[in-house]
Structure 1
């Protein structure tokens, strides 16, 4: 059985920046403030059921996963996790910079890097490893929820080692904008989202911070409880 509260280490763009406003509006939720946000009119025009279409990603807020959600390991505390986030951020490192693009992946639409970044892959794996001491072991229920029968042998191994299958070579940075949909339905929505994204004129995004998100219980949305700026080497 899943234990609560749950925590996650995510990337979330700085509040009040165009990318943060873009994602919060499309999901209808700002995880930084904890407030609902009105949907853009063009999104609702493209999909009258936009509220339902974004229901799943809304629960998590606009983010990219670096360390997937976990309950705290026995003997660890939220205060210790907060301190570990600060310690991690103080370690000098190369800051990943991506060229963002909007693409369909695995049936949903997300903001992703236009090109694979070894620096970003390394940051994600560092997060996976650095915070694993705070992760409670997966319950049988949580492991089953990941559908290991659909995973590759390597992903099953990663699920059992790190509590999440999509790490290492299987990690793909993405900031989800919609739930899953059929290819035919995705095409016009993808076109609308790309047109909206182009108005931001974002040629690069620095992945220069980590955010600690918290979910109080199964019915609650994740919210940001702390952000730490990474230290550039």
Structure 2
């Protein structure tokens, strides 16, 4: 558990992410792939898939900054009067009400990205419900968007429902619009490179089993543009009956 603190700016953002257990192959492989462990701050040497024209670390710049994770509640600033400790207490209470489960996953293309995605509808549904539950539980701790932030979010090709979610929740892809994913690449224009990354990840993780959803984690961006760090892990209750 990272103890970093106090050098955070007033503009620090927090996020509730899914992070695999630190001792699991899923955590170790994902951190190595992105070249950074957001819990320890260590830089790691990414693998180099055979036949890949570019170094892997040149294809993972954006996800490296965010750290290996799956978003449950996207990054937000704290509302006036809400301390990081109050956020942690609320998130901990939420986590203690959640049951552990497993979700089969596989690497796939998602738009122009490569990402780890649920491999069946049951896993997709369970993760979507988990994210919706978390958003409702922590939503009141989020600062309201500034007019500039709102305008930036709305300056995108969104459906009417997604625009309404931006105005209410600060993000368009929540509730039924949510698609759980753990990003493995930058936005890429080369379909062949995407296919190589998908094949490399799935081959590497064959036999790793289902993704163990045993908890969530609070990540923090200490200052705008800084790498996100895993601040607190939040274990769930025991497995579902």
TM-score, L = length of structure 2: 0.88
The answer to whether structure 1 residue 24 and structure 2 residue 31 are counterparts is: yes
In structure 2, relative to structure 1, the CA distance for the partners of 1:199 and 1:39 (3 Å cut) is: closer
1:112 aligned partner: 117
In structure 2, relative to structure 1, the CA distance for the partners of 1:207 and 1:166 (3 Å cut) is: same
Whether the aligned pair in 1 keeps the contact of 2:103 and 2:211 (CA below 8 Å) is yes
Residues 144-172 of structure 1: CA deviation (Å, up to 9, x unaligned): 33244411000011111111110011100
Q: Which runs of 5+ in 1 are unaligned?
A: none
SS in 2 for 1:59: helix
> How far 1:53 sits from its partner (Å)?
2.0
2:5 aligned partner: none
Structure 2: distance between partners of 1:53 and 1:195? 14
> How far 1:189 sits from its partner (Å)?
3.8
Deviation beyond 4 Å, 4+ runs, structure 1: none
> How far 1:18 sits from its partner (Å)?
1.0
The answer to whether structure 1 residue 198 and structure 2 residue 203 are counterparts is: yes
1:212 to 218, 224, 234: 218
State the number of aligned residues: 228
2:183 aligned partner: 176
User: Which deviates more, 23-32 or 189-198?
Assistant: 189-198
1:145 aligned partner: 152
> How far 1:49 sits from its partner (Å)?
4.7
Q: Residues 35-74 of structure 1 correspond to what in structure 2 (within 5 A)?
A: 35-42=42-49, 46-74=52-80
The root-mean-square deviation of aligned C-alpha atoms, in Å, is 1.9
The answer to whether structure 1 residue 156 and structure 2 residue 167 are counterparts is: no
> How far 1:46 sits from its partner (Å)?
0.9
1:231 aligned partner: 237
Whether the aligned pair in 2 keeps the contact of 1:212 and 1:225 (CA below 8 Å) is yes
Structure 2: distance between partners of 1:168 and 1:90? 21
Whether the aligned pair in 2 keeps the contact of 1:11 and 1:66 (CA below 8 Å) is yes
Whether the aligned pair in 1 keeps the contact of 2:20 and 2:212 (CA below 8 Å) is no
2:3 aligned partner: none
In structure 2, relative to structure 1, the CA distance for the partners of 1:134 and 1:64 (3 Å cut) is: same
1:83 to 89, 98, 106: 89
SS in 1 for 2:227: coil
